[in-house]
Chains A and B, each alone.
Chain A
Amino acid sequence: MSYRERIAWLSLSAMVLAYGSYFSLVARDPGPWEPWPHQHPLGLFALATIVRVLILGGGHLYLRFGFPLEERPPLDERDRTIEHRAINAAYYVLMAGTIVVGCFMPFNSGGWAIFNAAIFWIVAAEIVHYGVVVASYRGQTAS
């Protein structure tokens, strides 16, 4: 597995672990919460973000020492093609989320529901982004 594929797996795992935990905790305690800026969901969200940063930081350090410099070449045309494809897929997820959160939810939800939905769609777009990167590297691996 190449260095870039491992980085993509790391980013995907960090996103799923950190924000998967956040949304499972939020789902268990659906509120009602006090209005903004009440600390409960914000604290959980900050904790999830810190966990993600720690996983990413530790993973990057581990991979950097595990791979010599010659195994970490700069991006080439295939890497850029995969990245463009992933960003393209994530864009549509983000667009769908923007429509749901910005155009529909204000009329039948409010407060923390909108906050959590916005975070959910951003996380979903990022997961799609890294998922497409991983799938592309897997699909183009020479047998």
Chain B
Amino acid sequence: MTQGSISNRIRTLRFMNGEMSQAELGQRIGLTRQTIAAIEAGKYSPSLEAAFRIAQVFKVPLGEVFQWDANATSSKDGS
């Protein structure tokens, strides 16, 4: 168990961009639908490059897609 966790607003941003599907988002940044689902659920932390690509698709800064909560407890494995 480590302190701090990453949360994201990908589900909300997909909704705000015409209910973009996970598959479509994945296709646009070169990831599979399963990987997008895992990122959205907070079970996989993407590479910095993939994170920037996601932000670029939604035309928002990186900080609007991913947030760091230093006080939260993360149980995610180190991926």
Interface status of A81 (Cβ within 8 A of chain B): yes
Interface status of A64 (Cβ within 8 A of chain B): no
B interface: dominant SS: loop
Q: Residues of B within 8 Å of A, CB-based: how many? A: 17
A141 to B: closest C-beta gap in Å: 7
Interface status of A73 (Cβ within 8 A of chain B): yes
A1's nearest neighbour on chain B, judged by CB, is B34
Interface status of A61 (Cβ within 8 A of chain B): no
B35 to A: closest C-beta gap in Å: 4
Tally inter-chain residue pairs, CB-CB below 8 A: 46
A sample of 30 cross-chain residue pairs with beta-carbon separation below 8 angstroms, ordered by A number, consists of: A2-B32, A2-B34, A73-B32, A76-B26, A76-B30, A76-B31, A77-B31, A77-B35, A78-B31, A78-B32, A78-B34, A78-B35, A78-B44, A78-B46, A79-B32, A79-B35, A81-B44, A82-B79, A85-B79, A136-B77, A136-B79, A139-B43, A139-B77, A140-B38, A140-B43, A141-B37, A141-B38, A141-B43, A142-B38, A142-B41
Interface residues in chain B, defined as those with a beta carbon under 8 Å from any beta carbon in chain A: 26, 30-32, 34-35, 37-38, 40-41, 43-44, 46-47, 50, 77, 79
